[in-house]
Amino acid sequence: MAKLKSYAKINIGLRILGRRPADAYHLLESILVEISLHDKLNIDLNNKGVCKIKCSDLSIPINEENTIIKAWNRIKPYLPPDLGADIYLEKIIPSGSGMGGGSSNAAAILKYLDPYCIEKAPLSQLALSIGADVPFFLNGGTMLANGIGEILTPYSLDFPPNILLVKAPESISTPWAYKALKIPLTVEIKKAIFAGFPVAWQNRALFENEFEKVIYPAYPQIGKIKEVLLKSGADYASLSGSGSTVFGIFDNRAALKIAEARCSEFGICYTAEPVRRSPSGVV
């Protein structure tokens, strides 16, 4: 049995630059940081030719909507025809949290199955066909994302390793969040600026998440989490993606623990640190 870790991510800054008229996709820039909070995948390969999954969270669909099944179906044409798998997903990354749990699960499956391919699989293309965040999780680490999230550039940002995540009970629809921003279809897009910043944590105030301006008014309790994190000593606090998780980055562990106690009334708290990867991608 293979045992895999499927890591979460946070967004440090997220700007919407425009919306392509051709397909209505939103163009963005964001710094994606892989963090230590993770789901666990247990995989038993067999010769039955099909993939079956079970999940610790009964609210997670285990049919064709599941990103694990999507990843399996995308890579299956490149695998031996009789290769199958029984997969158990221990779900720890909250659903709808803006931390990319489903995307990470899909990438973990693609990476694991790649050595079994009898024909070279275009992993990046397969990943993007599942979701915009999936290509990031093929490599992880810290990346500057552009395009719809698929154009990835390694990014060096030296920040404290103490991360507190607070998942509010509200569930936020990603389509609703994008619609609420009211970004028009246009061939003229805003200038990307994150790549031009000096790579220094001192510039952290410039990394804003544009979804905050529509989500906090609609869900005041989520905005309150950010306020409490900052008042508790966080160096930086932000919404992650368009989900309902707010995270704080702290200079020291003691301040994080104080903030955790204060934020527990607003949702479920998790602690994490960045996943540091070597150039080869090894943790």
Residues with catalytic roles = 9, 133
Cβ(93)–Cβ(38) below 8 Å: yes
Backbone φ and ψ for 238, nearest 5 degrees, come out as -165, 160
The pair phi, psi for residue 37, each rounded to 5°, is -60, 130
> What is the C-alpha end-to-end distance of the chain, expressed in Å?
21
How many Cβ atoms are within 10 Å of 191's Cβ, its own excluded? 8
Query: Cα dihedral sign for 102, 173, 184, 205?
Result: negative
Residue 100 three-state SS: coil
Beta-bridged to residue 272, according to DSSP, are: 163
